[in-house]
Amino acid sequence: MTDHDLLELRRASRHFGSFRALDEVDLTVRAGARHAVIGPNGAGKSTLFGLISGTLPTTAGTIHVDGRDVTRLPVHRRVGLGVAATFQHSSLFLRETVLENVLLAVVRRTGSRAGSRDAAIAKAHELLDRVGLPARHGLTAAELSHGERRQLEVAVALGTEPRLLLLDEPAAGMSPAETARLTELIAALPREVTVLLIEHDLDMVFELADTVTVMHLGRHLKTGSPDEVRASAEVQTAYLGTMEVAS
Ligand SMILES: Nc1ncnc2c1ncn2[C@@H]1O[C@H](COP(=O)(O)OP(=O)(O)OP(=O)(O)O)[C@@H](O)[C@H]1O
């Protein structure tokens, strides 16, 4: 399960006009990894996620998931292959209940076969338990705190039974207590779920990640273990004047 490459980008590029937001990026994510992507603002991290999830077309290069070329597949086909994402801008249905939000994802994955609704509801409750929102199922998503909404987004993403979970700044705007809870939640995910995480909170990154990729100015700068990345002079230089790599 965890001895192969789940995601492979080769020379993946995204240009906006003449601007190279992502420039020939190679990235390999092992199955079962907790792999973080970090880099200063504008490094191309969100663009990279857009290419992997399918919300942004690639200008050049290829993307493979489990050996299959997904470069030109639309988002829903990638979801069907097990790629799920949470984004910086929430995609929750705010007027629906917390349970309905998760249920929609579960049903989208399993289909709405007669007799399967009870199982889907049970699954949705199980996911809400897992993300720490068991008592919130009857509230609308709008009634949740910011941190709880991020937890719900993770439950919605898990509802599609992903093999690859993309988390785009999940701790953005969270209190330290909420970040700690979210970190625990991600750490407790089963290894069948490979996690690719963009995060500015470097404490969270270095606590969770077994592999860290550093992006800079649209290019891949370095991939290594947290210790290798922390010790890298080129990484320190890239961050100079923006933020420090946590020690
Ligand atoms: N639709 C667009 N049109 C033009 N330029 C864009 C577009 N989207 C992103 N960019 C540019 O591409 C570069 C990379 O942006 P991206 O959002 O991927 O960076 P990031 O590393 O995620 O940054 P942050 O940490 O601030 O979220 C930035 O210079 C950004 O201004």
Query: Which atom of ligand 1 lies at the shortest distance from residue 215's CA?
Result: 21
Lookup result for tokens 């719900």? 152
What is the predicted pLDDT for the residue at 128? Answer: 94
The rounded distance, in Å, linking the Cα atoms of 155 and 2 is 23
β-pair type (194-198, 164-168): parallel
User: Angle at CA 42, nearest 5°, toward 30 and 215?
Assistant: 30
174 CA distance to ligand 1 centroid (A)? 22
ipTM of the complex: 0.94
pLDDT given at position 132: 86
Task: Give whole-number Cα distances, 167 to 60, 112, 123, 154, 172, in Å.
Answer: 24, 27, 21, 8, 11
Q: CB-based contacts of 133: which residues, under 8 Å, 6+ apart? A: 98, 144, 148, 151, 152, 155
| Per-residue model confidence (pLDDT) at position 87 | 66
Nearest CA to ligand 1 atom 30: 42
Per-residue confidence (pLDDT) for residue 112, from 0 to 100: 58
Q: What's the CA gap between 42 and 45, in Å, rounded?
A: 7
- CA 199 / ligand 1 centre spacing (Å): 15
**Cα–Cα–Cα angle for 209, 212, 215, nearest 5°?**
140
Q: Are strands 83-86 and 164-168 parallel, antiparallel or unpaired?
A: parallel
| Strand-strand pairing, 60-65 and 5-16 | antiparallel
Atom of ligand 1 nearest to the CA of 200: 25
Q: CB within 6 Å of ligand 1 — which residues?
A: 16, 19, 21, 39, 41-47
**Phi/psi at 68 (nearest 5 deg)?**
-100, 135
198 Cα nearest atom in ligand 1: 22
Identify the residue whose C-alpha is closest to ligand 1 atom 11.
21
Q: Note every long-range contact of 107-111, with CB atoms under 8 Å and residues 24 or more positions apart, other chains counting.
A: 108/79, 108/159, 108/160, 109/79, 109/159, 109/160, 109/161
- All structural domains of the chain: 1-82+163-247 (3.40.50.300), 86-161 (no CATH)
Query: Rounded CA gap, 163 and 146, in Å?
Result: 26
Global pTM value: 0.89
Q: Report the pLDDT value the prediction gives residue 115, as an integer from 0 to 100.
A: 57
pLDDT for 105: 87
Q: Which atom of ligand 1 is nearest to the CA of 49?
A: 18
Ligand 1 pocket: which of 14, 46, 53, 58 to mutate (most atoms within 8 A of CB)? 46
Q: What is the mean pLDDT of each run of 10 residues along the chain (247 residues)?
A: 85 95 96 95 93 96 96 92 79 92 86 72 92 90 90 90 92 86 89 93 92 95 93 84 53
